[in-house]
Structure 1
Amino acid sequence: MTLARSDALAPQPWTDVFTDDTCIDRRKCQRTVPMKVLALGVGRTGTASLRIALERLGYLRCYHMMCASVENPPDCLMWHDALAAKYDGEGKFGREEWDQILGDCQAVCDWPACAFAKELIEAYPNAKVILTTRDVDSWHASVMKTVHWRATDPEHRMASKVSWAAGMYYPMLNKFFDTFFRGDFPNQGKEVYKDHIEEVRSLVPSDRLLEYKITDGWGPLCEFLGEEVPEAAFPSGNDMANFKKRCSTRNRRQMLNAALQACTMGGALLLTGVAGMMIFNRYTIR
C-alpha cells in the first residue's frame, strides 16, 4: 500500500539557504548496517547525550528526533506515516519501512521512535535495548518547557505554513503528541510515561535490557554493550537552557527561507509581466 505522505515529498526549494537541511528520500534507502541498539526511553531522559555517547563508542549513526527535525526534514513524512499506520490503521509500516528510514543507523533513540517500542523490538530482535529513565515529575516539567512548548509554539505553527521543512516537522510533532500522549500531555503525560516503562519491561528479556539513568555515565552503559570505557568525560547534549533559543532561531531562519522564496517568485512574476508587455508593445505599437 502506498504511503501517501512520504510518497508526496516536495523538492527542497533552492532558496532554503538560511538552514542546512538535507533532502534525502528515505523511501529509496535500505539497510546498510546492522541495528545493534534500541534506546526506547522517551525524550528528555538524556537521549541527546546518549546519542553522542553511542556514536563515540563507534556505533554508526544513532537516530534521534533531531535527525528529522533539523537534519533531514523529509524523514518527518515517514514518521507521520508510521504514526498513522499504528494509531489510525492507515497503510503499512513494517521491517521494510524501518530499514528505509533507519537503514544507515546502528542505534536509535528519543522520540518518535519510543512510540514504536514493540514494533522495533520485533523488527530487530537481536538488538540490545536501553530504557533511559528519570524522575517522572522533573521529566514532565522538562517536556512542558521544551518539546511540548515546541509543539504548541504559535511562531512554529506560522513557520509551518510557509516553510518546506517546518511544514513537514510541525504536523508530525503534533501527530506524535496527539497519539502517543493521548492528545493531552499536560494531564496524561506522566501516566503515559509510567505505562511506557512497564511496556518496555514486558517486551524485553532482562539479559537484553538496560534500565539506565544518564547520570550513571559510561560504566553501566559500556558494561552492558561490552565496550571499553572511554577516557573522555561522558557527553552532555540538548540542555533545556538553550532549547527555546535554538528553536526560535530555527523558526526565523525558516521564515527567511520562505521570504526569499516569495521574493524570488515575485521577481520572476514581475519579470514575466515586463517581458509580456514588451512583446505586446512590439507587435501592437508601430
Structure 2
Amino acid sequence: MPLDVIGAGVGRTGTYSLKLAINQLGLGPSHHMEEVILNMPRQLPLWQAAVAGNADWQAIYDGYPAAVDWPTAGFHRELYAANPTARFILTHRSAESWYESFSSTIYKLISNVDAAPEPMRPWLEMTIAVIAKTGFPLGLDRDGLCAAFEAHIATVKATIPASQLLVYQVKEGWEPLCAFLGVPVPEGPFPRTNDRSEFWDKVSAAA
C-alpha cells in the first residue's frame, strides 16, 4: 500500500493531533512515533535499518496509508522519491513556541539517554539518529534549534512541489486540511491533544 498522505513536520508541531484528524477523515490509519513505541519488536529494527540507509518502506508502512511525525519527517526526501504522487503536510508553529515545547520534551528525553532504562536505549538511539538526520543533533542551544527548525521548513518547501504540499498549523482547524485532502469538513471540533504531560505518558509506554 503506497503512502498517500505524508507529514513532513517535526515533533511538537501538532503531529499527534494531525494523526487523529487524518484517522477521523478516513484516510488512516496514520503512522506516528507512537506506532513504533507500541510495536517495538517489529518497528524498531525496520527504522534502525532505515537510519543505516537500508529502508524497506513497504514493510515499515504496511497497513498505513498515511504517516506523520518522526521518524517519518526525517525521511521526507526519500519518501517523496518513493511516493512521488503523495500529498505532504508540513505542520509548523513559531520557532520560539516550538523550541519551548521541544526542549522540554523530546530534546530533554534524548539528551539523557544514558540515564534511560536499558530497554529504552535502542529506541532512543534510533530516535537520536533520526532527529539528527533531520537537522537537530544533540548539543544545540536555543538559537541553534530555532535556526534548524526554520531550515527544516525551508528544506521541505524546496523539496516538495507546491501543488503537493500543505503548509499548515493545526490551530487552523479542519477547513484548510480538508480542502487540501479533498474531503468534506466533519462535524465536531478538530482534535487537540498531546500536551507535554501526555508526551511523558506516551514515553513511559516504551520503558
What TM-score, normalized by structure 1, do the two folds share? 0.66
| Structure 1 counterpart SS, 2:52 | helix
The AA in structure 2 aligned to 1:243 is: F
Higher relative contact order (CA 8 A, sep 6+): 2
Corresponding residue number in structure 2 for 1:77? 45
**For 1:76 and 1:190, how far apart are their aligned partners in 2?**
29
The AA in structure 2 aligned to 1:209 is: L
Instruction: Say which one has the larger Rg.
Output: 1
**Cα gap change, 1:128/1:152 in structure 2, threshold over 3 Å: closer, same or farther?**
same
**Cα gap change, 1:250/1:216 in structure 2, threshold over 3 Å: closer, same or farther?**
same
Written as runs of structure 1 = structure 2, the 5 A alignment for 1:39-118 is 39-69=7-37, 71-74=38-41, 75-85=43-53, 92-93=54-55, 97-118=56-77
The alpha-carbon deviation at position 246 of structure 1 amounts to: 4.6
Percent of aligned pairs with the same residue? Answer: 32
**For 1:132 and 1:141, how far apart are their aligned partners in 2?**
16
Unaligned runs of 5+ in 2: none
Structure 1 or 2: more helix by fraction: 1
| Residue number among 77, 85, 98 corresponding to 1:139 in the alignment | 98
**For 1:246 and 1:206, how far apart are their aligned partners in 2?**
34
**Cα gap change, 1:222/1:158 in structure 2, threshold over 3 Å: closer, same or farther?**
closer
**Cα gap change, 1:218/1:122 in structure 2, threshold over 3 Å: closer, same or farther?**
same
The alpha-carbon deviation at position 175 of structure 1 amounts to: 2.1
The alpha-carbon deviation at position 193 of structure 1 amounts to: 1.3
Corresponding residue number in structure 2 for 1:190? 146
Corresponding residue number in structure 1 for 2:130? 176
**Cα gap change, 1:111/1:185 in structure 2, threshold over 3 Å: closer, same or farther?**
farther
Contact 1:40–1:129 (CA<8 Å) still a contact in 2?
yes
What TM-score, normalized by structure 2, do the two folds share? 0.90
Written as runs of structure 1 = structure 2, the 5 A alignment for 1:109-128 is 109-128=68-87
| Structure 2 counterpart SS, 1:211 | strand
**How far does the alpha carbon of each residue in 1:112-151 deviate from its partner, in whole angstroms, 9 at most, with x for none?**
2111111001100111111111000110110011111221
**For 1:114 and 1:220, how far apart are their aligned partners in 2?**
21
**Cα gap change, 1:107/1:233 in structure 2, threshold over 3 Å: closer, same or farther?**
same
The alpha-carbon deviation at position 204 of structure 1 amounts to: 1.8
**For 2:131 and 2:172, how far apart are their aligned partners in 1?**
29
The alpha-carbon deviation at position 208 of structure 1 amounts to: 1.2
| Residue number among 108, 111, 115 corresponding to 1:152 in the alignment | 111
Q: How many residues align?
A: 204
Contact 2:2–2:58 (CA<8 Å) still a contact in 1?
no
